[in-house]
Amino acid sequence: MASQRDIRRRIVSVKNIKQITRAMQFVAASKLKRAQDATLAARPYSEKLDEVLADLAAVLTGDDHPLLADRATGKRLIVLITTDRPLSGPLNTNIVRFVARDIVDTPGELGVITVGRKGRDAMRRTHVPLEAHFVTFGDRPTFADVLPLARLVTDDFLAGTSGRVDIVYSHWVSTLVQRPTLVTILPVQPAADTEGIPGNQFIFEPSASAVLEQLLPRYVATRIFQAVLEAKASEESSRMVAMKNATENAEELIEDLTLSYNKVRQANITREMIEIASGANAR
Q: Show pLDDT as tens, one digit a residue, over the chain (283 residues).
A: 678 888 889 999 999 999 999 999 999 998 998 999 999 999 999 888 888 887 777 777 777 778 887 777 778 999 999 998 888 889 999 999 999 999 988 888 889 999 999 999 999 998 888 999 998 888 888 999 999 999 999 998 888 888 889 999 999 998 889 999 999 888 887 766 655 555 556 677 777 777 778 888 888 999 999 999 999 999 999 999 999 999 999 999 999 999 988 888 888 888 877 777 776 666 6
Range of the structural domain that residue 235 is part of: 21-241
pLDDT in the model for residue 281: 66
pLDDT in the model for residue 198: 56
Question: Has residue 275 been placed in a domain?
Answer: no
pLDDT in the model for residue 197: 57
Question: Has residue 251 been placed in a domain?
Answer: no
pTM of the model: 0.85
Question: Has residue 283 been placed in a domain?
Answer: no
CA distances from 77 to 29, 111, 126, 148, 246 (A): 34, 5, 16, 16, 37
Question: Has residue 186 been placed in a domain?
Answer: yes
* DSSP symbols for the chain: ---HHHHHHHHHHHHHHHHHHHHHHHHHHHHHHHHHHHHHHHHHHHHHHHHHHHHHHHH--TTT-GGG---SSSEEEEEEE--SSS--TTHHHHHHHHHHHHHHHS-S-EEEEEESHHHHHHHHHTTPPEEEEE----SS--HHHHHHHHHHHHHHHHTTSEEEEEEEEEEE-SSS-EEEEEEEEESPPPPS--TT--GGG---SS-HHHHHHHHHHHHHHHHHHHHHHHHHHHHHHHHHHHHHHHHHHHHHHHHHHHHHHHHHHHHHHHHHHHHHHHHHHH-
Q: How many domains, the chain? A: 1
Give the CATH number of the domain where residue 157 resides.
3.40.1380.10
Question: Has residue 250 been placed in a domain?
Answer: no
Question: Has residue 236 been placed in a domain?
Answer: yes
pLDDT in the model for residue 254: 92
Question: Has residue 205 been placed in a domain?
Answer: yes
Question: Has residue 207 been placed in a domain?
Answer: yes
pLDDT in the model for residue 188: 82
Beta bridge partners of 80: 114, 168
